[in-house]
Chain A
Amino acid sequence: MPVRYIWIPVLIATILVLMGFYYVSWSKSGDGAGLYSRNWNPTPVFAYWNPDDFYTSVKTVTGEFSGEQCIECHQSVTPGIVNDWKASRHSQADKKVYCNNCHGNNHEQLHMPTPDICATCHNVQYDQFMDEKKYGFPSHALAMERALDTKHFADKPKAEVTACLQCHSVATKCDSCHTRHRFSAAEARRPEACITCHSGPPHPDDETYFNSKHGQLYLNEGSNWDWNKPLTKNNYPAPTCAYCHMNSGKHQVADKSIWQFGIKQVNPLTSANQVKREQWIAICDDCHQNDVARNEFKKLDAERKMAWKKLYAAESILKNLRSQKLFYPTADERPRYPFSLLDKLRPHEHIGFFEGQASAFYNVSPVERDYFEMWYFDNLAAYKGAAHNDPSFIRKGHDAMDAKLIDITKQADKLIKLGSKEKSTGKEIKPGNLWFKGQYTEYNQVHN
């Protein structure tokens, strides 16, 4: 075999890989951030949610200041944060941690403390936190990338999607859980520390936990527990969010994740997932007999299997409609799915996780949106009900999925009938400008 049969493909592959790296770094070098950074500009408030990319210091005060000087001035400017600092361990340590230790001395070059700054002292927690990245999504450490790299985030007006960054900034600042400027570990151990973000239709972690027996015990007795204790065996009469998800205070939530976010089906019985399962059961073992916990996980698997049966049934109805071009409007009769070269060439409807339906919740036909809600809201409500042991949410989620499946079937029948009626007329009735015009739609076309 001639040698060129080896080196030519190797050379081509190397060039392609290098070009790939170059393309990614080029696409990340725009005024925004993330993969679509060249397509959008940040709003000024992004500075506080993603300081690394967007924060620049105020220039109104000049000079360099010591910690005591910061405190002296800010006692009258913003007394709340000074009070907080005074009550924090930072002010009570032998070697006090002053404002300037985290924000810098020069008032014209102040910075917002990102996790790497906290890591100066809290390196164990920081390393655990960063290590989470290797487990992929969903994770706290990757949350900001997750937001910035989604197509709907890049596409929608930035003031609108500021809402996303408030939670996804859990990756870029430690005060999402340890609120400034007290940065209390005890506060972050309480379930309430999680629920500002872990609430609402796709992740009703708050309601499902509080409805469970674990949560009920916490609600009834929690205020009497000593929250300064570490999250380990015998310290708490009932588990909290962090007791299970961040056991022993390990700053990692992704390492044991089996069913993950719940928006794609996984095989819970792979060898890797079996290892994770044993890690979960070891925590349950702090209070429960081994087989009790094991059985609960089986019930969760069974619930997930049932949920996916329903979701796939709905997906296949949608895919059938798509193959017959029966959606109204079809993908070419409405604004394009954002940032997709393929869609520019040949518009198509995105159905399910692998086609990116998570970004297709607007500018789609009603039946697609109904499936989005079945998948993203009802399915996840049932999942969280099953995972947190709240039967009411399992019921609620599955009832809603059943109802949506019936409704999607009815809508599909109607679309099929209308489609065949339309065909019999021999004319194509287009929705016209209905999906392209309008105050928000047009604003969104020029603002992202």
Chain B
Amino acid sequence: MTRSCLIIILLTLSHYTHATTEVPGPSVILDNASCIQCHEQLNQPLIDDWRASSHAASNPVTDCVSCHGPLHNAIASHARRNDTCIHCHGGSKGPVSHSYLNSKHGILMQLETGDYNWNQKLENANYRAPSCAYCHMHAGNHQLRLQQTIQNACHDCHAPRYLSRQHLNGQEMYRIATLKIEEAETLIRQARPQYSRDELATTDNLLKQMQQHLRHVKLGIGHLSPDYQWWHGQPALDGDLLRIKGSIGELKREKEIGKIQSAESVNDTHSKTTRDHP
């Protein structure tokens, strides 16, 4: 009797102590304000991280509900999956996601996503392949894009020397790609005073395309996709760089031919006039 009384008292107590921090049930539709209200008390640094993130600064803002959904059940495991990110980051065919999906990491994730236990934290190689969040929000870091966060994630599987070499090579590969852009920009800058806006329209468009290719190189390096580093990146940059040179070269050639011809026609008229009227 005493024992059952004690159990009842304990259960009642536990009910009331929980009542103040009760986890909202699946039927409660959450909004961002209510998430923050609770989680600021539970985990202030997490909320601060999110506030400092590009998600919080985006317009429209990417808030708790955007990734975690409005219901409180399976709320973390839901947001950890790639679909959450890919939906906004250009879809699966867009370069941001496609460069990842085509990499070995992305391939493994596509093949094995159903085998993983998504209730595990994004750390300590709990997942065989890294998802978007495993690297960009490693260990649940909500600040995003922290170089260190990403590198920590790599170290869960790869050796330090391998990673430092990959990192340095990636930086150099990207620098080389930017040299192609700089070369194009210099040429256009030099051509600008000599030709009209219309004459340089083709060149300007090509430079815009080059910026896209540069972005592909960057994504290819970050997401480890040879296809984006190369075919959508470097040779594409080469192609548009030489087209810019071709376009400027052609303008220059036409202008110089025009100059010579007009000079000749002036000379012709002049010599004709002098002949006719000695």
A160 neighbours in B (Cβ, 8 Å)? 173, 176-177, 234
CA distance A438 to B242 in the complex (A): 12
* Among A167, A190, A362, A422, contact of B253 (Cβ-Cβ < 8 Å): A422
Of B63-71, B73-81, B141-149, B178-186, the stretch lying at the interface with chain A is B178-186
A163 neighbours in B (Cβ, 8 Å)? 173, 220, 226, 229-230, 233-234
A427 neighbours in B (Cβ, 8 Å)? 260
A43 on interface, CB distance cutoff 8 Å = yes
B180 touches A43 (CB 8 A): no
A48 touches B261 (CB 8 A): no
B175 neighbours in A (Cβ, 8 Å)? 159
B206 CB → nearest A CB, Å: 10
B252 neighbours in A (Cβ, 8 Å)? 429, 431, 434
B121 CB → nearest A CB, Å: 13
CA distance A363 to B157 in the complex (A): 41
CA distance A48 to B176 in the complex (A): 21
B38 on interface, CB distance cutoff 8 Å = no
B231 on interface, CB distance cutoff 8 Å = yes
* Among B111, B158, B169, B225, contact of A159 (Cβ-Cβ < 8 Å): B169
Q: Which residue of A lies closest to B124 (CB)?
A: A79
A117 on interface, CB distance cutoff 8 Å = no
Of A193-201, A256-264, A278-286, A306-314, the stretch lying at the interface with chain B is A193-201
A48 neighbours in B (Cβ, 8 Å)? 162, 165
Of A30-38, A121-129, A340-348, A365-373, the stretch lying at the interface with chain B is A365-373
B172 on interface, CB distance cutoff 8 Å = yes
Q: A58-B159, A159-B169, A429-B256 are in contact. Are A439 and B107 (CB under 8 A)?
A: no
B47 neighbours in A (Cβ, 8 Å)? none
Number of interface residues of B (CB under 8 A): 64
Chain B 182-208: CB-based contact to A (< 8 A → 1; otherwise 0): 110011000000000000000000000
* Among B102, B225, B235, contact of A362 (Cβ-Cβ < 8 Å): B235
Chain B 238-278: CB-based contact to A (< 8 A → 1; otherwise 0): 11011101111110111011001100100000000000000
* Among B114, B182, B250, contact of A223 (Cβ-Cβ < 8 Å): B114
A45 on interface, CB distance cutoff 8 Å = yes
B107 touches A195 (CB 8 A): yes
A369 touches B242 (CB 8 A): yes
CA distance A199 to B187 in the complex (A): 33
Of A20-28, A80-88, A392-400, the stretch lying at the interface with chain B is A80-88
CA distance A21 to B234 in the complex (A): 35
B125 touches A80 (CB 8 A): yes
CA distance A83 to B252 in the complex (A): 63
B177 neighbours in A (Cβ, 8 Å)? 160
A332 on interface, CB distance cutoff 8 Å = no
A340 CB → nearest B CB, Å: 19
A267 on interface, CB distance cutoff 8 Å = no
B103 neighbours in A (Cβ, 8 Å)? 196
Q: Which residue of A lies closest to B221 (CB)?
A: A163
Q: Which residue of A lies closest to B173 (CB)?
A: A159
A192 on interface, CB distance cutoff 8 Å = yes
Interface residues in A156-189 by Cβ distance below 8 A to B read: 157, 159-160, 162-164, 166-167, 179, 182, 187
CA distance A383 to B130 in the complex (A): 35
* Among A60, A167, A425, contact of B260 (Cβ-Cβ < 8 Å): A425
B190 CB → nearest A CB, Å: 10
A43 touches B124 (CB 8 A): no
B179 touches A443 (CB 8 A): yes
CA distance A157 to B171 in the complex (A): 13
B108 neighbours in A (Cβ, 8 Å)? 179, 187
CA distance A87 to B224 in the complex (A): 24
A167 neighbours in B (Cβ, 8 Å)? 226
B241 neighbours in A (Cβ, 8 Å)? 362, 440
A40 on interface, CB distance cutoff 8 Å = no
A318 CB → nearest B CB, Å: 14
B182 neighbours in A (Cβ, 8 Å)? 439-440
CA distance A427 to B258 in the complex (A): 12
A373 neighbours in B (Cβ, 8 Å)? 239
Q: Which residue of B lies closest to A83 (CB)?
A: B125
A406 on interface, CB distance cutoff 8 Å = no
Q: A160-B234, A361-B239, A439-B186 are in contact. Are A418 and B249 (CB under 8 A)?
A: no
Interface residues in A374-417 by Cβ distance below 8 A to B read: none
CA distance A160 to B254 in the complex (A): 35
Q: A78-B155, A200-B230, A361-B235 are in contact. Are A328 and B249 (CB under 8 A)?
A: yes
Chain B 127-158: CB-based contact to A (< 8 A → 1; otherwise 0): 01000000000000000000000000001111
A63 on interface, CB distance cutoff 8 Å = no
A205 CB → nearest B CB, Å: 11
B161 neighbours in A (Cβ, 8 Å)? 58, 60
Chain A 39-62: CB-based contact to B (< 8 A → 1; otherwise 0): 000011101100000000010100
CA distance A357 to B62 in the complex (A): 49
B179 touches A47 (CB 8 A): no
CA distance A404 to B155 in the complex (A): 47
CA distance A48 to B253 in the complex (A): 48
B39 neighbours in A (Cβ, 8 Å)? none
A421 on interface, CB distance cutoff 8 Å = yes
B264 CB → nearest A CB, Å: 7
B168 on interface, CB distance cutoff 8 Å = yes
B111 neighbours in A (Cβ, 8 Å)? 187, 190, 192
In the A-B complex, the 10 residue pairs with the smallest Cβ-Cβ separation, listed nearest first, are A80-B157, A80-B125, A200-B231, A438-B183, A159-B172, A366-B246, A163-B229, A163-B230, A362-B238, A166-B226
A-B contact pairs, 24 of them (CB 8 A): A43-B169, A45-B169, A47-B165, A78-B125, A78-B157, A78-B159, A79-B156, A80-B158, A83-B125, A157-B172, A163-B230, A166-B229, A179-B104, A196-B225, A196-B226, A365-B242, A369-B239, A418-B250, A422-B257, A429-B256, A429-B257, A435-B249, A438-B187, A441-B183
Q: For the A-B complex with A195-B102, A200-B230 known, give 12 more contacts whose Cβ atoms are closer than 8 Å.
A: A44-B165, A79-B125, A80-B128, A80-B156, A159-B176, A164-B230, A166-B229, A192-B110, A193-B107, A366-B247, A438-B186, A439-B182
Chain A residues within 8 Å of B, Cβ to Cβ: 43-45, 47-48, 58, 60, 78-81, 83-84, 87, 157, 159-160, 162-164, 166-167, 179, 182, 187, 190, 192-193, 195-197, 199-202, 206, 223, 328-329, 361-366, 369, 373, 418, 421-422, 424-425, 427, 429, 431, 434-435, 438-441, 443
